[in-house]
Amino acid sequence: MQEVNPELVKYATLTIPGHDPIQLPVLKGTMGPEVIDIRALGKQGYFTYDPGFVSTAACSSRITFIDGPKGVLLYRGYPIDQLANKANYLQTCYLLLKGDLPTKEQYEHFEYEVKHHTLIHEQITSLFKAFRRDSHPMAIMCGIAGALSAFYHDNLDIYDPEHREKTAIRLIAKMPTLAAMAYKYSIGHPFVYPKNDLSYAGNFLHMMFATPCEDYKVNPVIERAMDKIFILHADHEQNASTSSVRLAGSSGANPYACIAAGIASLWGPAHGGANEACLRMLEQIGSIDRIPEFIARAKDKNDPFRLSGFGHRVYKAYDPRAVVMRETCHEVLNELHIKDHPILDVATELEKIALSDEYFIERNLYPNVDFYSGIILNAIGIPTSMFTVIFALARTVGWIAHWTEMQEMPESRIGRPRQIYVGKTLRQVKAMQRRKK
Ligand code: SDX
């Protein structure tokens, strides 16, 4: 079925004692639940209340569809496992941005555009030097991404489709360069410039691991695994960081500054920071015999500890990305001849125990995208502190695709949620000497 506009299918009647019944339109999209359009409620003197937006559709979108109970993830209608196994990340970027997979000619043009925007303005290299060497690379990425708006603010008309397209290309192209620079800076190595004769993933690995003393030979299995990790992280509907980008963008802010907002939100351990937190958790567990202790902690309401890499706001089944990630994990460990990887053994046993435990079963808690990704990145030699940076690199296309869609949607307006106020009622200021404790 082709894309549709939300269709009015029926009306819901809201009955509030002492108030005339309120008719609310019920809308239907291409797939997924029907939505109750509550836009008229404000004029009737009511707000809805939904902390965390558990039951709130903040926008209409054509980009990504998730069926949480069934564990389905589609990018523009294509299943994530098919894209991971039959396409590559740049084809997926084209798909997310333009709505269809590219033909050979379209792909070659798109790839040329991206490859010829991988360099960053040389002055930005000095910005890195303003950070302490031991800064968390996500702190650096927040700062540098925001700084890009200083370099492109003037020649960027967000209402000009060509400017928007150029911005998308620039961001997709430059994020790997900036991510690798954040890593190189943290280990005191010189920055490695991009090479246009390498693939997108190969170029990233090259910028991460080459040095002036010796080049880096890209291993095709590792290159493919890296590309799949980028695909699996490319977009995910209205998650916290994408919603942050949309809300920032709704004011007309510079898209580079909006991406910085997305990076900041992604950093949290409840979101993109979970891949780093998950590997540290697996290392802390250390051995299979300590798993019961951590399972008990995860179930203890008085203990803030949660199993990182487990659970999801939307998926109430196995995260389809985790399925592909687990397969890729075994491919990488086999290619690198890593036999008994202690962390993988702990992860495998932890998953098995958790999935048979009543607490996790009744709450539909399954491994998510972050559960296996850290093991792959660790095996490739990428430090734990860089895991969320790689998530941000890959998710940039999703962020900018949603930012672009919002600019193109006529219904878009500045996001301005309301609240239920529970503070002090009106009171008068007293002179200091008359105030009591
Ligand atoms: C990402 O939104 C997206 O799409 C995000 C993402 C993307 O691609 O953009 O998919 C990427 O962020 C994946 C999630 C990564 N986060 C983690 O792995 C951190 C660990 N997971 C949890 O913090 C939690 O599961 C969340 C944050 C992911 C979801 O939180 P919700 O939807 O608010 O669920 P909840 O906190 O209400 O949990 C429901 C119940 C609670 O128990 P009860 O109060 O019902 O007794 O499940 C429990 C929670 O305590 N629970 C967990 C748990 N996750 C939820 N208990 C132990 N370990 C966990 N991991």
Helix then strand count (H, E) for the chain reads 17, 6
pLDDT tens digits, 195-232: 999 999 999 999 999 999 998 999 999 999 999 999 99
Torsion angles phi and psi, residue 416, rounded to 5: -150, 80
Cβ 150 vs Cβ 95: under 8 Å? no
* Residues with Cβ within 8 Å of residue 238, at least 6 apart in sequence: 53, 57, 58, 59, 61, 246, 402
pLDDT tens digits, 9-54: 999 999 999 999 999 999 999 999 999 999 999 999 999 999 999 9
How many angstroms separate the alpha carbon of residue 211 from the centre of ligand 1?
Answer: 40
Mutate to test the pocket of ligand 1, among 74, 237, 271 (most ligand atoms within 8 A of CB): 271
Nearest ligand 1 atom to alpha carbon 309:
18
| Token couple for 216 | 């880096």
What is the spatial distance between Cα 67 and Cα 30, in angstroms, rounded to a whole number?
12
pLDDT tens digits, 143-180: 999 999 888 876 789 999 999 999 999 999 999 999 99
Q: Is the CB of 310 under 6 A from ligand 1?
A: yes
The proportion of the chain whose per-residue pLDDT surpasses 70, expressed as a percent, equals: 100
How many angstroms separate the alpha carbon of residue 368 from the centre of ligand 1?
Answer: 9
Q: Is the CB of 371 under 6 A from ligand 1?
A: no
CA 209, chain centre distance (Å): 25
Q: Is the CB of 138 under 6 A from ligand 1?
A: no
**The pLDDT value given to residue 90:** 98
What is the spatial distance between Cα 387 and Cα 272, in angstroms, rounded to a whole number?
9
Residue listed under structure tokens 């990305």:
321
pTM of the model: 0.96
| Token couple for 10 | 């029926």
pLDDT at residue 272 greater than cutoff 80:
yes
Paired with 13 in beta bridges are 23
Which amino acid residue places its CA nearest to atom 15 of ligand 1?
271
Coil, helix or strand for 90?
Answer: helix
Residue listed under structure tokens 């039951």:
55
How many angstroms separate the alpha carbon of residue 309 from the centre of ligand 1?
Answer: 9
Coil, helix or strand for 308?
Answer: coil
